[in-house]
Amino acid sequence: MGPAIQNLEHLLNVPTGCGEQVMAMITPNLYVLRYLKSSGRLTKSLYQRAIRNMKIGYQRILDYAHADGSFSAFGYHDPSGSMFLTAFVVRTLKQVKEYIHVDENVIRKAINWITKNQLENGCFHAGHHVFHELV
In 3D, which of 89, 110, 114 has the Cα closest to residue 22? 89
pLDDT in tens, 29-85: 999 999 999 999 999 999 999 999 999 999 999 999 999 999 999 988 898 999 999
Enclosing H/E stretch for 30 = helix 19-38
Range of the domain at 44: 8-117
Task: Using the predicted structure, report yes or no on whether residue 125 has a pLDDT greater than 70.
Answer: yes
* 62 is a domain residue: yes
* 1 is a domain residue: no
Dist CA 103 CA 116 (whole Å): 21
CA 134 from centre of chain:
17
Q: Do 36 and 42 contact (CB within 8 A), yes or no? A: yes
pLDDT in tens, 2-31: 555 677 888 899 999 999 999 999 999 999
CA dihedral 37, 43, 47, 50 (to 10 degrees): -90
- Looking up residue 97, the CATH number of its domain turns out to be 1.50.10.20
* 128 is a domain residue: no
Dist CA 31 CA 26 (whole Å): 9
* 109 is a domain residue: yes
Dist CA 104 CA 28 (whole Å): 22
pLDDT value at residue 129: 55
* 22 is a domain residue: yes
| Domain total in the chain | 1
Whole-prediction pTM: 0.88
* 79 is a domain residue: yes
* 82 is a domain residue: yes
* 30 is a domain residue: yes
